[in-house]
Structure 1
């Protein structure tokens, strides 16, 4: 739902900014139009990320299709960089040597104000959702958005935040152009918008690559999983624990455990499978694999 809201907002804003850019001949408005069209195109990839990543696992994909979400989000982040950042920076550089007035700046201000409201509504939706989940997990909103495996939520959050900042930059650049009569301010605004988009795109690319190659979980999440294992009736200690994201909110768990009692081999195997089954009932566990600990292996602590 968050992605659909962002998509509809970006389409409406992109159309309005394109019309305003044609009327005003403002470099900053051209950059903002490119920004919004890039965001709108990226939302398509984010919608695909949610749908493809939600497909259930099968024989060919025992860990499910969750990593599709990271792949499509990575493509969307490259879209921001190429269609948004590079276009805005190049257009701004091309306009540095020109001295054209901004035609009918009131049109630009009206469009930017409407865009700010629409982008603000989308950002508020993403922010409130992020803050709510972060509060449940005892984390700050900022830390949650940076660390979450929900790559589409993070993309919408930062894209909308960048959109709001970009609108303020564009409005300020056009105003400075009006007041000083120097077109360089408008060109600088376009470059600054491009730099802003490049920073956001590179951050999103970095986070998606980290999840694709195997990102370590926050210590608090690992500790919570370890404590949950120790709370199982049959588990007396844990000597190894590996957790890896295989999709948004989906984990692959591997652990070595010491079982209570001294059962025969086939009884122990059955107990291990039963524990694995119980673990996989958790909504965030895609697959769980358990093996037995060796006596001299040190126990892990989870504080």
Structure 2
């Protein structure tokens, strides 16, 4: 598409420093998961619980994943250059997708494998006291990390929408990735506790490995959810319907326009959107009148939709206006 005018916002190529809210969520998750992973593996070695091994794997994988998200945040903060004229904002989405693959292969795959192996030769039941202690402490840490990500989502959640709808609408992959991971972790803790408790109640050593398999399946489901959300953003997802409708209303208010045939957007990063506008200016306008109209539109867009950093207008619309 030929471009006749680029918004002034597009000229601002220097990226802001890594976003504090997203990094706070990531650091909280790193601290929680690292401590929990160590405790789970120690207790798993003492008690021989397959479910605890699965939980240890889960927390260890989550810890590594948070470092990948942190890497994505830092790469996304790099300024635009010749090879990447729109900056590195999508690095966050790329590394979040790698996290999804990690959750699927390492978290889910290893947990299922270990559970199946333990089913073939289940370890004898041991005193589960330390298992429960570690699971309870893990629930506190995971709950803290989950609450940090929940607050970050609530800060951008639209009134009347659920937390799950906020996850679907969020463009901040770091935040919703940690939220989904922590939600899966809390459910996994419940499954592990149930498997250990029921196994001891019925003196059945097979229920603990079965819990490990269930935890693995849970992680596979979380991985697919993450892949769907981050994949859409990585391949060029646009802004939400309500935002797009508001954008159309903004263009409709401009008296110099006859119509706005197409407004196409692309998410370039958590807080950066590109807009390509196919509009029809009134015929017979002078070039200075067109420039004034564009300046008004840019100012209105910056005021109502500050995440739109780049605005382009099709050249054909401008040529038609000046004939």
TM-score w.r.t. the length of structure 2 is: 0.84
| Matching residue of 1:58 | 81
Tell me the CA shift for residue 218 of structure 1.
2.5
| Matching residue of 1:185 | 207
Q: Do the aligned residues in 1 keep the contact of 2:122 with 2:209 (CA within 8 Å)?
A: no
Deviation per residue, 1:90-122 (Å, 9 max, x gap): 000001122422323100100000000000011
Deviation per residue, 1:53-102 (Å, 9 max, x gap): 12232333222211111111111111111111000000000011224223
Tell me the CA shift for residue 294 of structure 1.
9.0
Partner Cα separation in structure 2 for residue 15 and residue 225 of structure 1: 50
| Matching residue of 1:105 | 128
- How does 1:280-295 map onto structure 2 within 5 Å? 283-291=306-314, 293=317
2:39 counterpart of 1:16: yes
Farther off after superposition, 108-117 or 74-83:
74-83
Pair 159,89 (structure 1): closer, same or farther in 2 beyond 3 Å:
same
Deviation per residue, 1:221-264 (Å, 9 max, x gap): 21122223334565453221101111113111011223468422
Q: SS in structure 2 opposite 1:134?
A: coil
| Matching residue of 1:72 | 95
Q: RMSD of the TM alignment (CA)?
A: 2.3
Farther off after superposition, 221-230 or 16-25:
221-230
Partner Cα separation in structure 2 for residue 273 and residue 124 of structure 1: 43
Between the two structures, name the one with larger relative contact order (CA 8 Å, sep ≥ 6).
Answer: 2
TM-score w.r.t. the length of structure 1 is: 0.89
Partner Cα separation in structure 1 for residue 39 and residue 255 of structure 2: 61
Return the match for 1:168 from 190, 205, 209.
190
| Matching residue of 2:51 | 28
| Matching residue of 1:239 | 261
Aligned length: 294
Q: SS in structure 2 opposite 1:133?
A: coil
Farther off after superposition, 140-149 or 8-17:
140-149
2:271 counterpart of 1:271: no
Tell me the CA shift for residue 156 of structure 1.
0.6
